[in-house]
Each structure stands twice: as C-alpha cells, then as structure tokens.
C-alpha cells in the first residue's frame, strides 16, 4: 500500500515536470531558452515516471518473487542511465549547431561567444 502511494507521487511529479516542459516550449522566445524547457524539464520528468515503474517492479518482485519483474526494473534503470547520458549530448549538439548556423540568442543581456567567433 505504501508502494502504491510512492508510485502515485513519482508519476504525478513526473507528469507535472513533463507538462511544464511542454508549456515552456510554447512560451519561451528562442531556440536556446526552449531547449532548457524541452530537454531538461522533460529529462527530470521522465526520470520520475521511470522511477515509478522501477518501484512497481521491485514491489511486485518482493510480493510474488516472479523474475519477470526483475527484468522490467533492470531494463527501466538502464533506460534512465541512457537518458542521462544521451540527453545532455543531444541538447549540446542542437545548441552548438544552432549557434554555428547563425541563430542569435534573443533578449540576451550578454553574448561572450560572439566575440570569439568574429576572430575565426
């Protein structure tokens, strides 16, 4: 029963952050600020929804002893690890490609990268 509440809490936190990521994607002005909402908030949300799955699988494993639940939980943990490894790399690649193709940050108060690229 405790596990049920824990799963609910994890999934609700995950859905809230995923939803905020979507709202941010619509509200923010340019590609860099949108990347903040679209890649980071959703990573955090997805970690929590996946943690809900892991909790459920471990709870079922403890209750029934069926090893299919162990498989589910380990695969979900691997999915979380892959998410944590690939998400920053993807976000960085998109941001760098956007800057190199000439997209300037909107409303920026400072742009230190501009000075560097003028020398090239």
Question: Interface with another protein by CB under 8 A: which residues?
Answer: 17, 20, 23-24, 27-28, 30, 32-33, 35-37, 40-41, 43-44, 67-68, 70-71, 74-75, 78, 84-85, 87-89, 91-92, 95-96, 99, 105-114, 116
Using a 10 angstrom Cβ sphere, with 0-12 exposed, 13-18 middle and 19 or more buried, the burial of residue 90 is exposed
Q: Pick between residue 4 and residue 23 the one whose CB is nearest to another protein.
A: 23
Q: Pick between residue 4 and residue 113 the one whose CB is nearest to another protein.
A: 113
**Structure tokens given for 65:** 């002893």
Q: Pick between residue 1 and residue 85 the one whose CB is nearest to another protein.
A: 85
d(CA 91, CA 101): 15
d(CA 2, CA 117): 56
């Amino acid at each position: 029963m405790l596990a049920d509440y824990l799963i609910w809490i994890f999934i609700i936190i995950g859905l809230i952050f995923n939803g905020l990521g979507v709202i941010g994607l619509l509200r923010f002005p340019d590609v860099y600020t949108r990347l903040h909402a679209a890649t980071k908030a959703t990573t955090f949300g997805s970690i929590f929804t996946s943690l809900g799955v892991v909790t459920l699988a471990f709870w079922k494993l403890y209750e029934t002893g069926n090893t299919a639940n162990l498989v589910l939980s380990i695969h979900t943990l691997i999915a979380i690890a892959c998410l944590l490894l690939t998400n920053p790399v993807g976000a960085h690649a998109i941001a760098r490609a956007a800057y190199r193709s000439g997209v300037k940050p909107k409303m920026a108060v400072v742009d230190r990268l501009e000075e560097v690229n003028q020398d090239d």
